[in-house]
Amino acid sequence: MAVKRGRGVAAVNYPTGMNLGGDPTQALVHSTPTGSFMVTLSSVDLGQGLKQIMAQICAETIGVPTESVTVDTADTDTGPHCMGTFASRGTHRAGNAVIQAAREARQVMLEVAAEELEVNASDLDTDGSGNIHVKGAPSRSISIFDTALAAHFKHGRSISGRGMFLVPRSYPETETGAMKPSTCYAHACTVAEVEVDEETGEVVVLSVKNVFEIGRALNPKMVEQQLIGGSWMGISHALYETTEPYYPDREHGARDYNEYLMPGPGDLAETEIAVLERPSGDGPFGAKGPGEMCANPQIPAVANAIFDAVGVRVDTLPITPERVLRALRQRDAGATA
């Protein structure tokens, strides 16, 4: 019996967004009479935290604290169109739409404040904590609360904005396949270390060291939670998951969580994550979409580590103990032949 160690590496990139028939998302932003801001969307929060990120993007753009922004989303009566939450597009597409809408709202807000302060709107700035002041003269200021009240009841102005982000449709060129299928690309590199039991074929992932380049970490803690979860799913895909373990045989399909295998809390690899930021030219504050990519590089990294450990290749997913054992037997048969 021998348990052998190995390590493997994989490097990947990932396109942001879906582009087949055009990739649009819209957003509306408006203030209440007392200077709170509403972002209205129809994008969906699946747990990745879209609502929080849109609030931070809107707050940064208008120059108010995130707490004062409420995101109303996933309602087709109120929210303008969004293509949907998939293809690593939520932060990028909806974020850009929110920025455009928030900029327009900020402009109206500054114009109203300018009238109240009797200065030019271009001379005004926000302090990020609820006030607007004359650049270089912080004492000449008005609160956003008072500005919004004045807009509503005195000036008859709507502090609001419309945002639209559309990636136009790309038609692939028939013969060459020339196309623009996405916008910016995120990147990753993973090094996995595994232990392979040559007697049972069982693979234990000891550690994964993941590096992700994601444009901009808009909220680092939320980035971290998505990347940790994605890294886990990558390992899960590599070694465990399938609805049909003997595909294309339709029998033996998993029907529940007892039959559908995934690593549990006792099967975790030591996981390390480093994040690089190369802001994309077209992303909100440079952000790209890492939501899907983060589960990809672990799969080949683990496969390569298994080869490094025991010298066999399993080129079919998932890399189950049965497949590893069969490969080991083939290796040993070849050695004796």
Neighbours of 11 (CB within 10 A): 13
Nearer to other proteins (CB atom), residue 42 or residue 152: 42
256 counts as binding other proteins under rule CB under 8 A:
yes
29, 55, 112, 132: residue in contact with other proteins (rule CB under 8 A) = 55
User: Residue 185, exposed/middle/buried by CB under 10 A (0-12, 13-18, 19+)?
Assistant: middle
Q: With CB under 8 A as the contact rule, which of the stretches 27-35, 105-113, 130-138, 303-311 interacts with other proteins?
A: 303-311
In DSSP terms, 203 is beta-bridged to 196
Tell me the backbone φ, ψ of residue 103, rounded to 5 degrees: -60, -45
Q: Which among 14-22, 104-112, 150-158, 329-337 is the span making contact with other proteins, rule CB under 8 A?
A: 14-22
293 contributes a contact to other proteins by CB under 8 A:
yes
In the complex, the smallest distance separating the C-beta of residue 154 from other proteins, rounded to whole angstroms, is 29
CA-based torsion, 135, 141, 145, 146: positive or negative: negative
H helix or E strand, kind and range, residue 134: strand 131-134
CB of 89 to other proteins, least distance (A): 11
Binding residue (CB under 8 A) for other proteins from 141, 155, 260, 321: 260
Query: Stretches 103-111, 114-122, 130-138, 280-288: which one binds other proteins (CB under 8 A)?
Result: 280-288
User: Could you tell me if 250 and 146 are in contact, meaning their C-beta atoms sit under 8 angstroms apart?
Assistant: no
The stretch among 30-38, 106-114, 133-141, 299-307 that binds other proteins (CB under 8 A) is: 299-307
**CB of 319 closer than 8 Å to CB of 306:** yes
Structure tokens at 196: 């392979």
131 binds other proteins (CB under 8 A): no
Minimum CB distance to other proteins, residue 138 (Å): 15
Place of tokens 């609820």: 130
Q: What positions carry a catalytic annotation?
A: 292
Angle, in degrees to the nearest 10, between helices 298-310 and 220-239? 50
Instruction: Pick from 71, 113, 142, 196 the residue near other proteins by CB under 8 A.
Output: 71
- Angle, CA 122 vertex, CA 117 and CA 123 arms, to 5°: 55
The yes or no reply on residue 334 touching other proteins (CB under 8 A) is no
Q: Rule CB under 8 A: choose which of 125, 279, 321, 325 binds other proteins.
A: 279
Q: Is 252 in the site for other proteins (CB under 8 A)?
A: no
Pairing of strands 3-15, 185-197: antiparallel
Q: Of these, 36, 206, 241, 331, which contacts other proteins (CB under 8 A)? A: 241
| Binding flag, residue 31, other proteins (CB under 8 A) | no
Residue count (the chain): 337
What span, in angstroms and rounded, lies between the C-alpha atoms of 158 and 3? Answer: 69
Sign of the dihedral through C-alpha 90, 96, 97, 102: positive
124 binds other proteins (CB under 8 A): no
- Number of residues interacting with other proteins: please give it, by CB under 8 A: 141
Judged by CB under 8 A, the chain residues 157 through 196 that form the site for other proteins are 169, 172-182, 184-185, 187-191
Q: How far apart are CA 60 and CA 216, in angstroms?
A: 14
Measured from the CB atom, is 85 or 96 closer to other proteins? 85
96 makes contact with other proteins (CB under 8 A): no
